[in-house]
Structure 1
Amino acid sequence: MHFASLLILALANTAFANSSTGCKKELPPAFPNPGESTPLDLPGTDRDYRLYIPSNYNPKNPTPLYISLHGANRNMDEQERLSQFSNPLFNPDGIAVYPNSRNGYWLSNPKAHTSRPNDLDYMYDLITHLEDKLCIDRNRIYAAGKSNGAGFAGVMACNATVGSKIAAFASVSGGYYNISDIPGLGPCSPAPRDEGYPFLEFHGTKDTISPYDGGGRDDKRPVIDVLEEWAGRNGCPKDARWNSNVTVFEHPLVKHASWNCGGKKGIVQHYREGDWGHCWASTVPNGDTEAFWKQCIPGKYVFNATEVIFDFFSGYQLKA
């Protein structure tokens, strides 16, 4: 056999080395057709979720999975419209899932009384269920969220069981609480791994729901504290400041900060959005420009957070 043929065979074997048990299986009848999304119930639970399958889905090809978590008082349908993870312009070939909280709030929010600690169990069961039914590349599972969902993505990252399944995390207008104060959670304890914990954060300086400097409703934590802690978990010295902090847009002002930790360039990144509020940045109107119209003014945005998120995720995967 020629060397080129051996190389192709080796790459194919590597791709399947961490593929899920759902590979080569037909789509379950209840699942959406490729190119569509649909609401589904998670078997054996009282929880539901919305699932999107890309139009080019092939059960023989391991496919990345993107998790998009809604904010407080929101739901899976609103999060699909807001985050646009089902939009082929941003996500041409990945599976997207929109989990639904039990009562409109995710674990870490003080109002999530019925979700402690079930939300973490739910996420683990949901990922495992999708791995069993779909051909998923288990090296390329990612999680992002808005507001309370963004904060919960951080809770997932801090959990050694659920977080160990996810290659990278993104947070938009995150509501960050002290998880040490939440019964059954304790301090942030991610599973040790050589790849580190890639973390991307977006936040508006005029956010009154999850204030940039902390406080507000339920006494949220300052954004910089959260970023520096993730830098520390990735090998940076305690309270390490960014390695670069540059202006990427002048009007309105958007600055991009980046931390290089443990030999990993840009493992923690942050977009500081001047004069913006509690918004998912988008160059076209979205759910936030309707719900938070005083803070999220249509036509004011100069970039798409979703595009940046997918670009960030593309740089990371777990080791087989």
Structure 2
Amino acid sequence: MKILNLRTILLGIVLFSFNFVSFGQKLASGPQVLTFHSDVDDTEQPYGLYLPKNYNAKKKYPLVVMLHGAGSNHRLALRRVFGKSNAEGESDVEASRYFPEWKDVDYIVISSFARGTMGYQGVAEKDVMDMVADAKKRFSIDENRTYLTGLSMGGGGTMWIGLSYPDMWAAIAPVCPAPPGGTLELVPNAINFPVYFFQGDADPAVKVDSTRKWVQRFKDAGVQVEYTEYPGVKHDSWVNAYKDEFIFDWFAKFKRNPYPDHVRFAATQYKHNKSYWVTLDEFTPGTTALIDAKFTTKNRLEISTKGLKTFTLNLTDHPSFKSKSPLELVINGQTIRAEAGATLTLTQSGDAWAVNTLNTLASAKKRGAEGPMSEAIADRHVYVYGTGGSPSQDELAKRRAEAQKAMEWSTYRGDFLGRVMVFPRLLSDKEVRPSDIESSNLILFGTKETNSLIEKYSDKLPVSLKAAAEGYGLAYVFPVDNRYILVNSGLPWWTLSDNPNAPTRQNTPAPMNVLGRFQDFVLFKGTINNVVSGGRFNNDWTLPNTEVDKMKASGVVVFK
């Protein structure tokens, strides 16, 4: 009895402490700023939050995700989506210091900082998704009433993220959008949610003809599209688009259907390979894989594919699927009858499709091991210079400076663009700890003679630059032990001039941006404008024969 009483007392203390902490952490309603921990660089990343009055955790709330434009931030974005412009004569810096009063809406609203002005791919894309995940942990969110909007760069980000994760959204609303490369191929993905475009016809930054073309492309793809064009309005079309909380009234019309009968989905990366009940399992990264799958009756689907070798259907809980009955699939005109089962993988061999077991080869490209080189810096990574070969102090300082230039994302770019607020670490090969190797992609500079980590992984890496090679640069990404290793030997991948004193070398773009010019590998002579060999590895991470021949002809590359 005494033990029972003691347990009861301890349980009461724990529950009291939990309630006290919960009460102490209760947030006030209205606009404010929260943070989440980013494992990209172990920083606390801010985001704007609007919490409605009388928030009740027992109730499910719709969520609006707002993406800011270039030269802006999360605080301004939160103001903008509520239709609050700067006061007359007020600068953005001044407007960022406070939140004005605005009408309450029964929505939770979050606005990303996403490292400043860097678009919404790579680290910034990850930040947006991490922000959404953080909000869902903290608050009671209705998964079927989650919406996405943004202006200018954020309008383009709305298109990119909306189309890359199409099964997340009930509706999206891009305002004067400037979408990044690769967006066009994903337009079919909006088949199951409406898209509302807003644009000023006098916009000097995002031309009206560009947005009109995007509107037509979505219409041609069968997407539900709305479009408002403002006569005489320049780049500040968001003033009209978000006026009087209009966007919340429009979003309120739509709910996501988590089990649509029709899925049309395009992907160019394994990192974006799932939509609703369809997963694209095998295709060639960098090319467009497309599937169009539709229930015509219960347990009967018509499917067409392009550029796709293997896909999986997960029909669990789908109202058009009867788990105890066989399925009839018509794939590119071929009829397949499959035994009952909620999850089904199909593989193409020649022109024929067959039910199969998903069996991805260890050496095959897949999610987290697909390239291109820019993916190595899209997540947690460290830059490592070598100390091998008994270098002089001057040589060691030169090696460090080269790696440091690559890791300096936060170079000041002027008052408008500011800095990209990403802070990876720079280490020598002697300073790298086992935890770094376990948790990070490795950006390695030098050769196996100068960098002990390149030597450590040399038996797993496909190529290397001869130590005596002069005037060449080799850079490539390769997956090793569930991480990316990016090797840069010889000239750095951002070399734009073979004259070290030329002005163009001093004004080179940030190395992180230059990396986006390449695919999986590049060998160049003198300057990156003189590419000897480059492209993507095959799907089994081997070099294409044509590129092997080019590298051999150079005489500076050693093959594994």
TM-score normalised by the chain length of structure 2: 0.36
- Given candidates 76, 92, 106, the residue that maps to 2:105 is 92
Aligned to 1:52: 50
Q: Aligned residue for 2:115?
A: 102
Deviation sequence 1:13-42 (CA, Å, 0-9, x none): xxxxxxxxxxxxx86966731234224234
Output the CA distance in 2 between the equivalents of 1:132 and 1:28. Answer: 17
| Structure-1 residue corresponding to 2:139 | 134
Give the structure 2 partner of residue 219 of structure 1: none
Give the direction of change, closer, same or farther, for the CA distance of 1:140–1:306 in structure 2 (3 Å limit). farther
- Partner residue of 2:250? 312
Larger radius of gyration: 2
Partner SS state of residue 185, structure 2? coil
1:40–1:51 Cα contact (<8 Å) kept: no
Match of 2:179 among 176, 181, 189: 176
Q: SS where residue 179 of structure 1 aligns?
A: coil
Q: In 1, distance between residues paired with 2:73 and 2:182? A: 23
Q: Paired residue for 1:207? A: 203
User: What is the CA-CA distance between 1:132 and the residue it aligns to?
Assistant: 1.7
Q: Which amino acid aligns with 1:57?
A: Y
Distance 1:61 1:204 in 2: 38
Picking from 143, 153, 160, the partner of 2:158 is 153
Q: What amino acid sits opposite 1:38 in the alignment? A: V
Match of 1:35 in 2: 30
Is the Cα–Cα contact under 8 Å of residues 31 and 38 in structure 1 kept in the other structure?
no
CA 279–36 in structure 1, closer or farther in 2 if over 3 Å, else same: closer
CA drift of 1:165 comes to 1.1
Q: Does 1:227 align with 2:215?
A: yes
* 2:225 paired with 1:268: yes
Aligned to 2:66: 68
Contact 1:173 1:280 (C-alpha < 8 Å) held by counterparts: yes
Q: 1:158 to 1:172 in 2, by over 3 A?
A: same
1:163/1:123 Cα in 2 relative to 1: closer, same or farther (>3 Å)? farther
The structural deviation recorded for 1:117 is 2.0
The alpha-carbon deviation at position 281 of structure 1 amounts to 4.6
Gaps of 5+ in 2: 1-20, 84-98, 259-560
When the two chains are superposed, the root-mean-square deviation of aligned CA atoms in Å is 2.9
Give the match's secondary structure for 1:129. helix
| CA–CA separation in structure 2 for the residues paired with 1:42 and 1:28 | 22
What letter corresponds to residue 27 of structure 2 in structure 1? P
The answer on whether the counterparts of 1:140 and 1:167 sit within 8 Å (CA) in structure 2 is yes
Q: Taking every aligned residue pair, what percent have the same amino acid on both sides?
A: 22
Q: SS at the partner of 1:201? A: strand
Counterpart in the other structure of 2:319: none
Considering Cα pairs closer than 8 Å and 6+ residues apart, tell me whether 1 or 2 has the greater RCO. 1
C-alpha separation between the residues in 1 aligned to 2:166 and 2:46? 21
How far residue 177 of structure 1 moved from its aligned partner, in angstroms, is 4.0
Deviations 1:81-131 (A, max 9, x none): 222279886552111101012132323xxxxxxxx4223322222222211
Cα distance in 1 for residues equivalent to 2:158 and 2:125: 10
Q: Which letter maps to 1:312?
A: W
CA distance in 2, matches of 1:319, 1:87: 36
Distance 1:201 1:208 in 2: 17
> Is residue 63–residue 142 contact of structure 2 (8 Å, CA) maintained in 1?
yes
Q: Which amino acid aligns with 2:68?
A: H
Equivalent position of 1:252 in the other structure: none
In 2 relative to 1, CA 281–150 (structure 1 residues): closer, same or farther, beyond 3 Å?
closer
2:200–2:231 contact (8 Å) kept in structure 1: yes
Q: Distance in 2 between matches of 1:176 and 1:73?
A: 16
Q: How many residues align?
A: 220
TM-score between both structures, scaled by the size of structure 1: 0.61
Asked if structure 2 preserves the Cα contact closer than 8 Å seen for 1:36 and 1:52, the reply is yes
- 1:170 aligns to what SS in structure 2? strand
1:251 corresponds to which residue?
A: none
After superposition, residues 273-288 of structure 1 pair within 5 angstroms as 273-282=230-239
1:192, distance to aligned residue in structure 2 (A): 7.6
Tell whether 2:122 aligns with 1:165.
no
CA distance 1:69–1:304, shift in 2 (3 Å): closer
Q: State the AA in 1 paired with 2:56.
A: N
Whether contact under 8 Å (2:193, 2:256) holds in the other structure is no
Unaligned 5+ segments in structure 1 are 1-25, 108-115, 181-185, 214-221, 236-260, 262-266, 283-300
Letter in 2 for 1:158: L
Task: Rate the CA distance shift 1:224–1:147 in 2: closer, same or farther, 3 A.
Answer: same
**CA distances 1:57-101 after superposition (whole Å, capped 9, x unpaired):** 100000011111110011111112222279886552111101012
Q: 1:248-277: per-residue Cα shift (whole Å, max 9, x none)?
A: xxxxxxxxxxxxx5xxxxx31111111110
Q: Is the Cα contact below 8 Å between 1:82 and 1:280 reproduced in 2?
A: no
Q: Retained in 1: the 8 A contact 2:33–2:46?
A: no
Q: Note the C-alpha offset of 1:150.
A: 0.6
Contact 2:176 2:211 in 1 (8 A): no
The residue aligned with 2:416 is none
SS in 1 for 2:255: coil
Q: Give the conservation status (yes or no) of the 8 Å contact 2:61–2:141.
A: yes
